[in-house]
A and B are shown apart, each in its own frame.
Chain A
Amino acid sequence: MKLVVAIVKPFKVDDVKTALQANGVAGMTVSDAAGFGRQGGHTEVYRGAEYTVDLVPKVRIEALIEDGDVAKVVDAVVAAAQTGKIGDGKVWVIPVDEVVRVRTGERGAEAI
């Protein structure tokens, strides 16, 4: 089992969600995030004073998937989130030791 973590632009959340669902991913967790990469933040102007805001708003999407789906799902997320401009985000995959469905107590792949 794997955990796919995607940091994407906020306006791309719906596209990524649709792509994940189209590839058989049944559930996901979405949270607001802030951070920076090579993009290095942006500037805002208040009464003529320019502020460099280095933490840019992003959305963090997490989904549990089976080992065999990794390539397909990651490709789908990247395709959905891409604009080609700086600040598109990142996707990474983490191995998962155990998953339990709280309601039934099912374990492992059954619980995904």
Chain B
Amino acid sequence: MPEINAGDTAFIMIATAMVLLMTVPGLAMFYGGMVRAKSTLNMIMMSFGAMVVVSLVWVTYGYSVTFGPAIGSGDWSLLGNPATYWGLGSIMNPESMAINGGYYPIPALSFVAFQGVFAVITVALISGAIADRVRFGPWLLFAAIWGTVVYLPVSRAVFYFGDENGEQGGFIGATLGAIDFAGGTAVHINSGIAALALVIVLGKRVGFGKTPMRPSNLPLVMIGAGLLWFGWFGFNAGSALGANGVAAIAFINTITATSAAVLAWLLTEKIRDGHATSLGAASGVVAGLVAITPACASVDTWGAIAIGLIAGVLCALAVGLKYRFGYDDSLDVVGVHLVGGIVGTILIGFFEAFNGAGIFYGGDASQLIAQIQGVAIVMVYTFVMTLIIGGLLVKFAGFRASNEQELQGVDLALQAESAYDFSDAGSKGVSA
């Protein structure tokens, strides 16, 4: 058993805080500025809500289900035992070390925290698809249920590499050998396909596709995108679980692919619409970050540029599909996270550069096939489960706000507040 290393531990703790910053306020601002002014606060609150609910799920039983010793025997394991680290249990002590297919020289609790903020942002990402039209209470229920039923088993399948001897790991990462360094499948495809299922059961906003639904605050979107990019260095490089050379590869690729994606998105817009826009730049940032997430430790500079360019173009084209097919994915979680996640995860099969597994780097098709299998499993499982969870919450918990509340704006109708007040005129009286 190695000793806990100060440098690695410091790096992972800082990376964890950076990933937290991605959700609140990064994602909250990115989404909050992109919705109409009348539901900005509801949008921001959904990120904060995901943060607090999923964090508590994670420390009570979530970590144990994802990274705890397997229930039952077998070569791979579907679930960990929630009782093993219930309330973090035996690992809530300063000597306990991180175990994930072997020991890592950081405290187990640092690993718990780092993986916990991944669970949080995965749930928060979904909220962008359902802007303007859901009630906050049922959203918290959704965060707890989806975070348990979908995120825990999927992240175990992708991120869990077994006990200290590397046995009984997850099916996608350990058994199939699909490469997903920081969460192309577990985070982005997972949230993207969940978003698609959820907008199908929730239905469209009133006036979708007919009335303009303009972003209320693009500077807020740009700040949010910048914070996401900053935090993403923690997300990708931190996934090395140590302050080392692999983290540095992930770090540099997080710059390279993202820059390529921004230029690709802007060029696509310029050719198609005649204008390169700030929203396009912000969207290109996220598309590039999403696509490089699974691949960031597996590709060289040219692979990162290719992944960024392809993701930038495909995501810019994919965000228009919702109008063609009539699903109201309000802030393009499907177009950016699902499509970007698929692009990045599958392109590893072509661009894996360090083990000769990529087809363009002398490999055969076996890595590509593993990648496609990983993508397909997550898509099918999450889509079906989210349809069921979302459908039940719409039917029995009043997930969707009424048309009147939606038209008035959920901020005012449900939260009794408004994001922007430019004048005191017309207000009267205070009663405390």
Contact = CB atoms under 8 A, between A and B. Distances in A.
A5 to B, nearest CB: 21
Contacts of A48: 269, 272-273, 316-317, 319-320
B316 to A, nearest CB: 7
Interface size class of chain B, counting residues whose CB lies under 8 Å from the partner chain: 10 to 19
A59 B320 CA distance: 35
Interface string A44-86: 1111111111000000000000000000000000000000000
Contacts of A49: 320, 323
Interface string B265-287: 00001001111010110010000
Contacts of B332: 47
A53 B213 CA distance: 10
Given A48-B272, A48-B316, A48-B320, A53 B277 contact: no
Contacts of B279: 46-47
Interface string B282-318: 0100000000000000000000000000000000110
B212 interface: yes
Contacts of B316: 47-48
A16 B428 CA distance: 36
Contact of B275 (A45, A51, A53): A45
Contacts of B323: 49
B280 A47 contact: yes
A10 to B, nearest CB: 16
Contact of A47 (B212, B274, B283): B283
A47 B335 CA distance: 10
Contacts of A50: 273
A9 B323 CA distance: 34
Given A48-B317, A48-B319, A49-B320, 16 more contacts: A44-B214, A45-B274, A46-B277, A47-B280, A47-B316, A47-B320, A47-B332, A48-B272, A48-B273, A48-B320, A49-B323, A50-B273, A51-B212, A51-B214, A52-B212, A53-B212
18 contacts: A44-B212, A45-B275, A45-B277, A46-B214, A46-B279, A47-B279, A47-B316, A47-B320, A47-B332, A47-B335, A48-B269, A48-B319, A48-B320, A50-B273, A51-B212, A52-B212, A53-B212, A53-B214
